Structure 1
Amino acid sequence: MKKKLSTALVFVLSFFLIFNSFSISVRAEDDDDDFAKDPIAASGTIGSNISYTYDSSTGTLTLKGTGEINLESAEEEPGIEGDTELKVVKIEEGITNIPEGMFEDCTALVEVQIAKSVKYIGSEAFAGCTSLTKIEIPEGITRLESATFADCTSLKEITIPKSVTSMGVGLFDECNKLDTINYNGTQEQWNKIEVDLTLNEDYDSTDDDTDDDEDSDDGDDEEEEDEDSGDDEEDPDDEDDITDDIEDEEAEDTPRTVSPQIFFKNAKVSFSDGNTIQYITPSISTSKTLFVYNGKNQKPKITVKDGSKKLKEKTDYDLTAPKKSTKVGNYQITVTLKGKYAGSITISYKIIPKKVSLKKLKSKKKKTLTISWKKSKDISGYEIAYSTSKKFTKKTSVIKTVKKSKKSLTIKKLKSKKKYFVKIRSYKTVGKTKIYSEWSKAKNIKVK
């Protein structure tokens, strides 16, 4: 009897577990269905003024009506955004806008027909439409909003009306195949289009201001003193100020607007009068971009090429460069293409201080080291590194900052009978940036 009851109990428990497991599985599938995207309905309305029909056999969506499309006024979500079956969109005459993000991530969309009555297209309206290869913007639209076609990775051709006067930041981000621009206006009108970079500005909330003359001494008890007690009157050649030819990049404000060339680095633009321009990313070669101060005018030699073709200065491009670059600092040369080419590129180059020469190392007193060097021009100061290791490891090294008027330094409280290695370099402060010379060759001495 007990055996029969036991068998029956096992059967009941097994049935309960199987049924419960099935119930959980069904609920899980139901939950997954809750997140599945509904297909676009065969027909519907968006507010009281817009209606649509959808042919699922061809993936064609047709929108009809008058006035603005307001997706928030729809009684039921039409389910257009992110649909992966939508292939063709037809927006008929009478409709005046395409809302923000309306066709975003419709990855199968290949054709868009926009009526001339449309006067506004919202940001990200077609972002992520990765199958879209061509689109025509109707006359009357005055601005192409930010990221409208971002991530349209197959987009190759676009027609832009002459009514467009501005473009938003990121308009064609990741549209790397875009190479044909049809502009229904003149080149003069095209050049007046502004790309708004306002949304692209970065604001740094941190304050990294530090004392430029702060020593990197990490707590060692060595003492230092200046042995040179000569006149501190500054040599005119040692002035901290640099010429107006040097641009302090950190002091410049980020431009709020630029030309549309920022979007079309390798595209051909055709104008209504039959003229064309070819944007290219030119191949730039320079003799060198790092120079050592010698008091003379120094700048790199620039070679500009379109593929294997060498372009000619004043015919294919102009160079904008400082009149002279004789002092230590950061400089720039801008190559501006012209003729059948368009666009520009900037090359940066630098003049660093001349390498400093160590003159002598002396240790006349116990635990004391005196360092002397040859004074340099056009600098802001010196850095002297000394270490018990010839490799100048971080743990064994100390760096001291010395005024530019000095040419010797005495360091006390060193380790007696220990060999010390010493090297020196100079620096020039330009804005908030220090430009350093190369380190001198190290010398060593055994301290008394």
Structure 2
Amino acid sequence: MDYKHILKDLFFAGLKSVDPHTGVKNYIGEVLSEYKTGKYETLLTIGFGKAAYQMALAVEESLGDLLTNGLVITKYGHGGTLKNIKIEEAAHPIPDENGLKATNRMIELLKKNATEKTLVLCLISGGGSALLVAPYKGITLEEKKDVTKLLLKAGTDIEELNTVRKHISRVKGGRLAEHCYPARIISFILSDVIGDRLETIASGPTAPDETTYKHALRVLKKFNLFKKVPPSVLDLLRKGEKGIIPETLKKDNPVFKKVTNIIVGNNKKALQAIKHQAVKLGFNAQIISAELSGEAREVAKFLANLALKTQKTSPNLPLFLISGGETTVTVKGPGIGGRNTELALAFALEIAGKKGITLLSAGSDGTDGPTDAAGAIVNGDTVHKAKDLGLDPERFLENNDSYNFFKKIRGLFITGPTGTNVMDIQIIVVDSP
């Protein structure tokens, strides 16, 4: 049986459950109730992330003319037009000039309007770290871009990456909340990090930060980046470690007495919806984990071994094995790809020639790294098909060129921007061989 269409349908069922538009509407009553207490004269909406437009659309539909002003920043191709909230588009995962200008306009908006009689609704989703960009004094945008590229290429996980980004920023690590103060803040957050850690999602702009400059320096040391990062960045982090410049905001800061952070969707919810839909279709289904992490190709080996073992031992086939999280890729080759296509290619090599096993691995936002694909779908015939075309799958994996591999064999899973972002999703169907 060809399960590809079922896997795609299950993937979209998962996305539907974490639709940011619906997520915001489910909680918008809290904002309305607060605003109607009479304490506030101004209602501002700010936001940033890949799901920012859909979240802002829900706000405008719900609050309409109550909104005084608004500005959100999203990724190129993920936006639209609204009446009361201005939508800006910028680059991700490497920040650009548009992101910088839009963030500066957001800071000015807050500076002019944030008072004790202001309620700020902040919409946060994955991708916000790159889209909300305001380098600390003394660091240029180009230098920040260089640091981001180095960290991504080195294979840092999202927590390590954001630990550094927070400490070279004027808006991350709780500092956006500081720009809002003394206004009241309610943040609606679509989580794209393992464990829904508020300080890590979009680098925690409205949350207390437990990391320090010392932690940021440890990340650079771990990945041997001291001699590669711009001197201004290293100088800033060392000054911060010595206490010469202030730390990111910690939990005892009075700013946070006026902040409420609410998770409106996450990866776990998407996986539960996928399982529910699989069972509804009459299949057996099991959630493995919503916290997969580590090198993509190593996670692929784990998932492949689990699938092969399940095929040999489970009496309940076909069985859908569902997982999610966020892996990393240490880039050593000159190719193009993302963590999902890399995971899928490594998985295909592990199950080469085996019948009855199919995997879909894709980013919930519809993009996998710097590509136009969400991910890929593979089975036991994938490697054989590639070799028939004269391709060497292992060479493509070695060169981190998974995108071009799947493009050549027509194995890419392309969805376009989905409007949401709750990390990655893997669905494996295991049937009898």
TM-score by length of 2: 0.17
Higher-helix-fraction structure: 2
RCO comparison, higher one (Cα < 8 Å, 6+): 2
TM-score by length of 1: 0.17
Higher-strand-fraction structure: 1
